[in-house]
Structure 1
Amino acid sequence: MRQEAAGIAVCLILYSIWSFQTESEVMCDRFYQLRDYASQHSESAAIFHLID
């Protein structure tokens, strides 16, 4: 996994944690936006494997 894909995975994990802790709609929105981007990434399988 390249650095970019690892960074996306880490951000997805953190956005998920923060959205539950803060109950922030903004954090939820950012999570889903990044998840949509990650689904189109060339290393999407590795990203989703890591966050699953």
Structure 2
Amino acid sequence: EISQIEIARKLNLTPANVSRSIKKLCELEIIEKRYLAGKLVGYRLLVEEFEPQIHS
């Protein structure tokens, strides 16, 4: 289990940027949040391979 704050530290990003990125990954159904007894316990990868969308 790793927190968004720890992800931010390891990637040298702000926690806000990590939060936005995780939200976007959930919206794109690339990952999903996993809960246990109503508490967020982690994330699950939903796709093994995906084509990144290139925005111009």
Q: Which of structures 1 and 2 has the larger relative contact order (alpha carbons within 8 angstroms, sep 6+)?
A: 1
TM-score strictly above 0.5: no
TM-score scaled by length of structure 1: 0.32
Q: Which has the higher strand share?
A: 2
Structure number with greater Rg is 2
